[in-house]
Amino acid sequence: MAQDLPIIERRRIEAEILKQVYEILRERHGEVEARAVIAAAVRKSSLAQAGEFARRTEGGTSLQSFIDLQALWTAGDALEIEVRERSEKTFAFDVRRCRYAEMYKAMGLGEIGHLLSCNRDGTFCEGYDPKLKLTRTQTIMQGASHCDFRYRYED
């Protein structure tokens, strides 16, 4: 099932299609509208995918079930992370290397990589479990030295 593919592979397949859509939108409607449409489409897709993950989670969603999913995002060394904190209510880590950013750049999509991938992160929380919240102030995709993911699980 597609759900079992490493996330980086799913994103590569999606980006191959979205690249063509983005280019056509940009030609016909300009850069601003093209980015807005891609952002909206990716957000909608992220919510749907997160909902599917939630439905497949035996026993219901939790911070731990979310942490267990991280193996899909990091598979194949897609992300090199450094865990900062892990408790019953928080999961904080820094991404030191992001092969997603490298992949989008190689595909010629570096300028919208954040729309294709980074913007999904908070949206995924909404669709997976509304109690799961993400705070992030920077990403490698947009030029920072690392991404600072700070998840918290609220009652």
Give the domain extent around 75. Answer: 2-153
Q: How many CB atoms lie within 10 A of CB 110?
A: 15
In the three-class reduction of DSSP (H, G, I as helix; E, B as strand; rest coil), residue 107 is classed as coil
Mean pLDDT of 119-141: 96
Q: Read off the CATH number of the domain in which 133 is found.
A: 3.30.1380
Q: What is the pLDDT of residues 80-110, one digit of tens each?
A: 999 999 999 999 999 999 999 999 999 999 9
Q: Which helix (H) or strand (E) holds 97?
A: strand 90-98
Residue 69: CB atoms within 10 A of its CB come to 15
Domain count, the chain: 1
